[in-house]
Amino acid sequence: MLNTPRGCVGVRIGERLDQRYQTLSNLGRGVFSSVVKAKDTETNEEVAIKMIRNNETMYKSGMRELNFLKKLMEADPDNKKHIIRFQRHFEHRNHLCLVFESLSMNLRDVLKKYGKDVGISIKAVRVYAQQLFLSLSLLRKCNILHADIKPDNVLVSESKNTLKLCDLGSASDASDNEITPYLVSRFYRAPEIVLGLTYDYAIDVWSAACTLYELFTGKILFPGRSNNQMLKYMMELKGRFPNKMLRKGQFAAHHFDSDFNFMAVECDRLTKKEVIKKMSFVKPTRDIKSRVMAASSAGVTEDEGRLLLAFIDFLEKCLALSPDKRMTPKEALVHPFITGKV
């Protein structure tokens, strides 16, 4: 076992952990943890082991993740709600280690491999959408916000027909949400987070919709390079924000003037300096419908055409700027796009 710099975990391949897990390969290293693939010698199954860095902050957040996982497993004993199965935990040289079922790839990999810039079929997106929203319904039942839904945190089975939401490292209890403008990976960050409003389960619905759009089109829906640019892209697509949201948002004044005109921060082409450009959005200039239609192949069957229209309606309802107007997981699961009754 190598304790690499700053409490990282280095594991030698072939090393045995907790006297039962034979390490097979390193799956990746993040800021907070590293993940290894291992063989469970008791069951002969492959597992993924997340090893948390051993400093106090990381250990605490690892324990929080562990408690959320236990709660979710208890609430879904039959494994029907599409959240990664957590098996057990142990400590290895002061590192907290979480043992999960092993899944081969995430949706980012799927897109790279099968949908390079063109996305995957609408029928596949429908199946994935249903499974993703089942996981959201379980999170909601357990009062948990995932707060980092994106293609990288959705794993798929070998056969690609089952998806599981993973990585609860950013999750929180729905009742103690701290207002911070950088929660959730930027492209998937809901407007209420950027504006500094209180937030709830609707942030995960927003991120899930951005993820599904990307799966179908192969393109990121809101590729903003900053929070300011994210707001601009959102308004181009969905029109202006309700004044109520701007009045209440703790960070709204960073982006809007007192008359609620948007202040776009842009880079001057000549001087390369940042300039503020005042903009008022009257109505959207880009729309989801034309972008989804442009991404669909020319030879669409009548069934697929109907499914596409249902998908557009589904996305529109999940991407309402105002979180209280957004579809809930429960409503999403009976939407025609997901039930397939189109």
The pLDDT tens digits for 53-66 are 988 999 999 999 99
- Picking from 49, 72, 101, the residue at the C-terminal end of a domain is 101
The residue from 40, 76, 148, 167 that is catalytic is 148
The stretch 122-142 carries a mean pLDDT of 97
Tokens representing residue 272 in the block: 């390369």
Name the region of 340 (left: φ>0; alpha: ψ -120 to 50; beta: rest): left
Query: Pick from 265, 279, 286: which is nearest to 222 by CA?
Result: 286
204 and 259, same domain (yes or no): yes
Decide if 148 is catalytic: yes
79 and 149, same domain (yes or no): no
Query: Pick from 147, 230, 245, 139: which is nearest to 197 by CA?
Result: 245
77 and 212, same domain (yes or no): no
State how many domains the chain has: 2
135 and 97, same domain (yes or no): no
113 and 223, same domain (yes or no): yes
320 and 180, same domain (yes or no): yes
77 and 221, same domain (yes or no): no
| CATH number of the domain enclosing 133 | 1.10.510.10
115 and 70, same domain (yes or no): no
Q: What confidence score (pLDDT) does residue 5 get? A: 47
263 and 123, same domain (yes or no): yes
- Give the list of residues 6+ apart from residue 295 with CB closer than 8 angstroms, or none: 118, 119, 216, 217, 218, 219
| Boundaries of domain holding 80 | 5-101
Its pTM stands at 0.94
Confidence class for position 301, pLDDT limits 50, 70, 90: confident
More confidently predicted of 104 and 232? 232
92 and 123, same domain (yes or no): no
